[in-house]
C-alpha cells in the first residue's frame, strides 16, 4: 500500500462517499443478520469469568501473602467489567438479546461515573461528533491540548502533567467529564446546569467508595489497610489501562480531526451518512495485538470498527477488520494501526509537543503531514 498523503489530497467525491457508505451499511447488515448464540455465549462467558475473577480477588485479600495475586485478579475483573462488558453493553451491543442484565437501558458499571451520564457524553456526544473540534469533548477532555487547531495558551505548558493526572484519576475524570468544568471556567455554562448531575455523581461515588474503601476492607478485619490499598491499586490499574487504550484510539499520529464546516457535506447542510463513516475511520486508530489483548481492551483495540459500528457486539470487530481495511484501501482512506508501544509513544510525543506553542503556524490541511504510522 502506498503511504497516504494529507486529507485534502484524498477528499472523496460525493459519489464516492455515498458508495463507501453503502458498502459499510451492507457490511453492518450482514453482521446484524448473523447475530445469535455465539455472540450471546461469548458475552455471558466474559461476564462469568469477570465474576470469578472478582470473587477470587476479594477472597484472596484474606491471605496476606497472596496480596499481589488478589490485586491482579481484581484489576483484571475491573478492566473486563468496564471495557469488554460495561462499555459495550451500554452501547446497546447486546440489547437484541432482551436480557435485562445486558441491556443498555439497565446496565450500571463498576465505575464512579453514573452510566446514565456516560451514555450521554460518550454514546451521543463523542460517537456522533467524533473528532469534530468544538463538538467532541473527548478531544483532550477539556483539559488537554490534543490538536494543533486548539489554540495554544500558557496553561498548556502543563499538558504532560495534566495527562499524567488524568491517567491516574481516569475514572474520576470520566465522572466529571459531563460537568463541562472548562465551559464553566469559560463562562459558557452555568453552575446551576450541573445541579442535577451532581446528585447522580455523588450517589454513584458514595456507593463505589463505600464498597471498595470501607466495606470490603472492613470485612477483612485487621487486614483493613492491606485490602484498602489493594482495592485502590486495582482501581488505579484499571484507570491507567483504560486511559492508555482510549488515548491510543483517537490521538496517535494518523488520527485526524475535523471542523464543523467539513462535516456539512449534505445537500441539506447536514452530514451525509457516507461522510459520517469516512470521519469515523479517519478519526480513529487501531492497536494491533493478540487475542487476549483485544479482549482486555474491550476490543477498543479495533477503535475504527467500533466507531463505524458502535452497536455491533465488539467480538465482531476483529472478524470484520480485514474487510473494513480492504474497503478503506480501495477508497484511499487511511486506516491507522500499530502496536501498543508505538501508538503510546506517538500519543506521548503529541502530548509533549502540543504543550509548546507551534513552531510554524500550520497551513490548512497540512496538520500531521508526516504520518509514518499509516501502514
Partner 1 sequence: MTLVSQLARSRAVAALTSPHGVDHYLSRVNPMWAAHEVRGRVVAVHRETDTPGAPVATLTVQPTATWRGHLAGQYVQVGLDLPGSARRMTRCFSISSAASGAGEEFTLTVRAHAEGQVSKYLVDAEPGQLLHLSQAQGDFTLPVSPATPGIDPLLFITGGSGITPAMSMVRTLLRDGYEGRAGRPVTFLHHARSAEDQIFAEELADIAAADNDVAVHLRHGDAVFNELELRRLVPGFRDTDTWACGPAGMIELVRAAYADSPRLRLELFKPPTTSSGAAEGDLTFAATDRQVANTGASILEQAEEAGLSPVFGCRMGICFSCTTRKSEGTVRNVLSGAESSLPDEDIQICVSAPVGDCVVDL
Residues 311-370 that bind partner 1 (CB under 8 A): 311
Q: 3-state DSSP call for residue 130? A: coil
- Which residues have a Cβ under 8 Å from the Cβ of 251 and sit 6 or more positions away? 146, 285, 346, 347, 350
Residues 58-97 that bind partner 1 (CB under 8 A): 91-92, 95-97
Determine which residue in the list 1, 5, 10, 32 makes contact with partner 1, applying CB under 8 A: 32
Residues 149-208 that bind partner 1 (CB under 8 A): 204, 207-208
Nearer to partner 1, 108 or 149 (CB): 108
- Which residues have a Cβ under 8 Å from the Cβ of 340 and sit 6 or more positions away? 244, 248, 287, 288, 289, 293
Write down the number of H helices and E strands in the chain: 17, 2
Using rule CB under 8 A, residue 123 touches partner 1:
yes
Cβ atoms within 10 Å of 307's Cβ, excluding its own:
23
Residue 130 near residue 136, CB atoms below 8 Å: yes
Determine which residue in the list 37, 151, 192, 268 makes contact with partner 1, applying CB under 8 A: 37
- Which residues have a Cβ under 8 Å from the Cβ of 234 and sit 6 or more positions away? 57, 71, 74, 75, 77, 78
Determine which residue in the list 34, 41, 260, 366 makes contact with partner 1, applying CB under 8 A: 41
Q: 3-state DSSP call for residue 108? A: coil
Nearer to partner 1, 35 or 184 (CB): 35
Using rule CB under 8 A, residue 256 touches partner 1:
no
Nearer to partner 1, 211 or 353 (CB): 211
Nearer to partner 1, 207 or 349 (CB): 207
Nearer to partner 1, 6 or 280 (CB): 280
- Which residues have a Cβ under 8 Å from the Cβ of 374 and sit 6 or more positions away? 3, 4, 254, 334, 335, 336
Q: 3-state DSSP call for residue 261? A: helix
Candidate segments 3-11, 29-37, 226-234, 338-346, binder of partner 1 by CB under 8 A: 29-37
Q: Of 164, 149, 374, 154, nearest to 284 (Cα)?
A: 374
Using rule CB under 8 A, residue 119 touches partner 1:
yes
Nearer to partner 1, 252 or 274 (CB): 274
Separation CA 182–CA 106 (nearest Å): 30
Using rule CB under 8 A, residue 133 touches partner 1:
no
Using rule CB under 8 A, residue 269 touches partner 1:
no
Using rule CB under 8 A, residue 276 touches partner 1:
yes
Using rule CB under 8 A, residue 124 touches partner 1:
yes
CA distances, 171 to each of 56, 157, 192, 205 (Å): 23, 24, 23, 10
Residue 301 near residue 293, CB atoms below 8 Å: yes
- In this structure, the strands spanning 286-288 and 337-339 are parallel
Nearer to partner 1, 51 or 363 (CB): 51
Nearer to partner 1, 112 or 328 (CB): 112
CB of 254 to partner 1, least distance (A): 23
CB of 45 to partner 1, least distance (A): 12
Binding site for partner 1 (CB under 8 A): 25, 29, 32, 35-37, 39-41, 48, 51, 55, 91-92, 95-99, 101, 103-105, 108-110, 119-120, 123-124, 127-128, 204, 207-208, 210-211, 215-216, 219, 273, 276, 310-311
Amino acid at each position: 500500500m502506498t503511504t497516504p498523503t494529507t486529507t485534502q489530497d484524498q477528499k472523496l467525491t460525493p459519489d464516492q462517499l455515498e458508495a463507501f457508505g453503502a458498502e459499510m451499511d451492507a457490511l453492518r447488515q450482514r453482521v446484524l443478520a448473523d447475530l445469535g448464540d455465539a455472540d450471546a455465549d461469548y458475552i455471558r462467558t466474559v461476564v462469568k469469568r469477570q465474576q470469578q475473577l472478582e470473587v477470587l480477588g476479594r477472597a484472596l485479600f484474606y491471605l496476606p501473602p497472596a496480596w499481589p495475586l488478589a490485586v491482579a485478579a481484581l484489576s483484571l475483573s475491573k478492566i473486563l467489567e468496564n471495557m469488554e462488558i460495561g462499555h459495550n453493553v451500554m452501547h446497546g451491543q447486546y440489547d437484541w438479546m432482551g436480557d435485562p442484565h445486558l441491556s443498555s437501558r439497565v446496565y450500571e458499571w463498576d465505575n464512579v461515573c453514573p452510566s446514565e451520564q456516560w451514555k450521554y457524553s460518550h454514546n451521543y456526544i463523542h460517537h456522533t461528533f467524533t473528532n469534530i473540534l468544538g463538538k467532541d469533548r473527548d478531544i483532550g477532555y477539556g483539559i488537554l491540548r490534543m490538536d494543533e487547531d486548539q489554540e495554544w495558551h500558557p496553561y498548556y505548558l502543563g499538558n504532560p502533567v495534566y495527562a499524567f493526572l488524568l491517567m491516574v484519576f481516569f475514572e474520576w475524570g470520566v465522572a466529571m467529564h459531563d460537568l463541562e468544568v472548562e465551559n464553566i471556567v469559560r463562562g459558557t455554562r452555568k453552575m446551576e446546569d450541573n445541579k442535577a448531575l451532581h446528585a447522580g455523581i455523588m450517589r454513584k461515588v458514595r456507593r463505589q467508595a463505600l464498597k471498595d474503601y470501607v466495606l470490603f476492607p472492613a470485612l477483612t478485619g485487621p487486614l483493613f489497610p492491606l485490602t484498602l490499598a489493594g482495592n485502590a491499586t486495582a482501581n488505579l490499574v484499571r484507570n491507567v489501562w483504560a486511559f492508555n487504550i482510549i488515548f491510543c484510539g483517537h490521538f496517535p499520529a494518523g488520527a485526524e480531526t475535523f471542523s464543523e464546516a467539513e462535516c456539512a457535506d449534505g445537500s441539506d447542510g447536514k452530514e451525509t451518512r457516507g461522510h459520517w463513516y469516512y470521519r469515523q475511520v479517519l478519526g480513529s486508530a487501531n492497536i494491533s495485538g493478540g487475542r487476549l489483548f483485544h479482549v482486555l481492551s474491550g476490543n477498543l483495540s479495533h477503535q475504527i470498527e467500533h466507531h463505524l459500528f458502535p452497536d455491533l457486539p465488539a467480538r465482531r470487530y476483529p472478524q470484520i477488520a480485514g474487510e473494513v481495511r480492504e474497503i478503506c484501501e480501495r477508497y484511499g482512506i487511511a486506516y491507522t494501526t500499530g502496536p501498543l508501544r508505538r501508538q503510546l509513544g506517538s500519543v506521548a510525543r503529541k502530548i509533549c509537543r502540543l504543550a509548546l506553542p507551534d513552531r510554524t503556524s500550520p497551513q490548512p490541511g497540512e496538520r500531521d503531514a508526516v504520518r509514518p504510522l499509516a501502514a
